[in-house]
Amino acid sequence: MELTRDAAWVHLSEWTETESLRKHARAVEVVMRRAAHRYGEGAADEEAWGATGMLHDADYEKWPEDHPKRIVGWLRERGEEELAYAISAHYTKWNVPYKSQLDKALLACDELTGFIVACCLVRPEGVSTLAPKSVKKKLKDKAFAAKVERAEVYTGVELLEADLGEHIQFIIDALKPYAEELGIQGRDLRKN
């Protein structure tokens, strides 16, 4: 991969101005870096998987009607076909087949990471005491985080041949070290 993490973040920041979407990009980056070790080839995949997670929604804020066409094009111009393809596949309306573990992992981690962050934000303890059972219960509540595509959550986990509860715990564990940066440490644990 030619694209550096710093260059990817600069580009994301140019196209994404809101803190919430930048935090989502960072959260998915963190989870995808960890997913490279669980579902991919480990350290050999970590940079590419992290950049894919970071950039998957980079064009959404400025050009929601074109998402993800612009970021896919930007990556292809730079020879980052693997990242561009995975981001194309994550946009389920395009019906791009899932070929690689990266493609599957992005689908399995994107929506579920956003959902888990939403779960953390409504808990006084944030991510510190969150358990898969609570997340699964919230997934059944269609009114909670209503924009999260539940079908994508289930399809992604199925494509990875993972257990939903174990995958949820994996994402929780990936996010915990970054709780303060992501604002999911909980109201009781925030510094005044």
Please report, for the chain, the start and end positions of each structural domain, with discontinuous segments joined by +. 5-184
- Which of the four pLDDT bands, split at 50, 70 and 90, describes residue 123? very high
Instruction: Give per-residue pLDDT as tens, 143-187.
Output: 999 888 899 999 999 999 999 999 999 999 999 999 999 999 987
Instruction: Tell me how far apart the alpha carbons of residues 1 and 15 are, in angstroms, rounded to a whole number.
Output: 21
Helix or strand or coil: residue 163? coil
172 in Cβ contact with 129 (< 8 Å):
no
Residue 110, pLDDT > 70, answer yes
Rounded CA separation 183/82 (Å): 31
Task: Report which of 63, 33, 38, 19 is spatially closest to residue 157, judged by C-alpha positions.
Answer: 38
Look up residue 54 and give its two tokens.
Answer: 């970071």
At residue 189 the predicted structure's pLDDT band, cuts being 50, 70 and 90, is: low
Q: How far is CA 103 from CA 11, 116, 124, in A?
A: 21, 20, 34
Q: What is the pLDDT of residue 90?
A: 86
Judged against a pLDDT cut of 60, whether residue 190 lies above it is answered with: no
Residue-level pLDDT at 12: 95
